[in-house]
Amino acid sequence: MSISNRRGALIVDGILAALFFAVCALYALVGGWPDLVVVVLFSAALVLRRAAPGAALVVAWVAACAQMLMLRELQPADAAVFAIVYSSSAHGSAAVRWWGLGSAGAGAVLASAYLSVVMPIASGTGIAPAADPLGRLLWGGLLFGAALAGLVLAWTIGLLVRTVRDSRAQRRRAELDRREREHAEYRYVVEQERSRIARDMHDVVAHSLAVVIAQSDGARFAAPTRPEAALDALETISSVARDALGDVRLLLGELRHREGESPQPALDDLLEQVRGAGLDVRRTDRGEPVPLGAGHQIAVYRIVQEGLTNALRHGDTAAPVHLTLDWSPAGVSVQVENAVAQAGGVEPMHDAAPGPRHGIPGMRERAELAGGTFAADLRDDGRFRITARIPAQAAA
């Protein structure tokens, strides 16, 4: 029980104990100060019954023993014993709970012996006449059964109330855990979607800008001597820009709908674009193509697009770029290999390179998210090669 709950329980139980004391004190005043002491002790036990069930059990035992030592008769304040035993199982710890059950049995024995044997012998009054030992024994047995049944019933009711309360608390905790789990999953999905948007935007914009820059440079140098080549370059720039706008719209469409509902980009269109930008791409297909799911098709397309963009930006555009698609029933192996420019270099390939990078890490992440593998290396002959393995999946 928390501090605030314990304080609230003390206040409520204090008010109830005050009412209990006010009622029982009327009877205790008739019997004298010994009965009043018993009422005070039982009232104190009622104040502590929820905030400190163990202490309440001890105070109740003190009150009962004091009553028996002073040879007092039964009085209304003795009803507090049932409330204390109930609270020991409903609000106490495991140890207090079992002490409460033991107190029920011990209290039944002491109460029956006190009322059927001690009181008749000491004062000549009580439940059974002092001169009738058999009657005292019979009544003692009945008193023991009644006291034990009442105290154990109170303890059992407290245990049932505790079980119901714990079950409700467990359901509330389970509901809170479910909501926290759903919130965490939602945040994870949102973060993944943001990462996917960043990768797609990088792929679309970086590739298109690389082609536009290459064509713009070519048009600028060709304009004085070859105006027709400059016009062709401008036409290519216009086409690439329109295709880039279409890719952006495709990306926005993927945000509004499921990925499988969006049309998939074609590698042939991509190769036509980069060839128009002056890159000699030589494609080789091996094996029988197998159907790929929508996400796997996007992964293949974006990996090839990024590889060709790197070749256009960082490679030797005078040397051919080899694109190989090696198909098998298990999936497709994508390989892009290009010569490295003498003055410049390729995009950093290792994770220790400084600065934000999306190309190589983005291709690796796409391959791994599709369940495949990715590798990028600079060969000894000065050629840069990327290899991605994308597993097959039933077409969406």
Judged against a pLDDT cut of 70, whether residue 257 lies above it is answered with no
Whether 228 maps to a domain, the answer reads no
Given 130, 155, 180, the domain boundary residue is 180
Instruction: Tell me, yes or no, whether 160 and 309 share the same domain.
Output: no
Residue whose pair of structure tokens reads 């720039």 in the numeric block: 237
- End-to-end Cα spacing for the chain: 55
How distant, in Å, are the alpha carbons of 117, 136, 145, 148 from that of 139?
10, 5, 10, 14
Segment 168-174 shows an average pLDDT of 92
How far is Cα 146 from Cα 178, in angstroms, rounded to an integer? Answer: 48
For residues 168 and 19, membership in a common domain is answered with yes
Give the predicted TM-score (pTM) of the model.
0.47
Residue 355 maps to which CATH number? 3.30.565.10
- 166 and 286 co-located in one domain: no
Q: Which helix (H) or strand (E) holds 286?
A: strand 281-286
The answer to the question of residue 294 being in a domain is: yes
Give the burial class of 390: count Cβ atoms within 10 A of its Cβ; 0-12 exposed, 13-18 middle, 19 or more buried.
buried
| 239 domain residue, yes or no | no
Q: Is the pLDDT confidence value at 213 over 80?
A: no
Residue type, 197: I
> Which positions ≥6 away from 133 have C-beta within 8 Å?
none
**Is the same domain home to 25 and 174?**
yes
Question: 30 and 141 in one domain?
Answer: yes
Whether residues 294 and 167 fall in one domain: no
Q: What span, in angstroms and rounded, lies between the C-alpha atoms of 254 and 191?
A: 16
pLDDT at 225: 79
Residues 173, 312, single domain; the answer is: no
The verdict on 23 and 169 lying in the same domain is: yes
Among residues 180, 195, 222, which one ends one of the domains? 180
User: Do residues 41 and 146 share a domain?
Assistant: yes
* Count of domains forming the chain: 2
Is the pLDDT score of 392 beyond 80?
yes
CA distances in angstroms from 279 to 269, 297, 396, listed in the order given: 14, 23, 33
Is residue 20 in some structural domain? yes
Rounded to an integer, the average pLDDT of 44-62 is: 90
CA distances from 120 to 57, 113, 175, 320 (A): 28, 10, 60, 118
Phi, psi of 173 (to 5 degrees): -65, -40
Q: What is the pLDDT at residue 139?
A: 74
Residues 148 and 40 in one domain: yes
Token pair 């000894």 is at which residue? 380
pLDDT of 77 higher than 60: yes
Query: Is 28 in the same domain as 145?
Result: yes
**Domain assignment present for 96:** yes
Answer yes or no: is 234 within a domain: no
Q: Say yes or no: 25 and 147 in one domain.
A: yes
What pLDDT, on a 0 to 100 scale, did the predictor assign at position 249? Answer: 64
Distance from C-alpha of 87 to C-alpha of 134, rounded to nearest angstrom: 36
Spatial distance between the Cα atoms of 58 and 63, rounded to a whole number of angstroms: 9
CB contact burial 278-289 (16+ within 10 A = b; e otherwise): bbebeeeeeeee
Least confident range from 178-192, 212-226, 265-279, 345-359: namely 345-359
Indicate the burial class of 263 (C-beta count within 10 angstroms; 0-12, 13-18, 19 or more): exposed
Is residue 40 a part of any domain in this protein? yes
CA-CA distance, 151 to 78, in Å (whole number)?
12
User: Is 242 inside a domain boundary?
Assistant: no
| Domain end point (choices 159, 180, 201) | 180
Rg of the chain (C-alpha set): 44
Cα–Cα distance for residue pair 324/320, rounded to 1 Å:
13
The set of residues, in sequence order, having a beta carbon less than 8 Å from that of 65 and lying 6+ positions away, is none
Q: Which domain holds residue 145?
A: 3-180
Cα distance between residue 86 and residue 130, in whole Å: 34
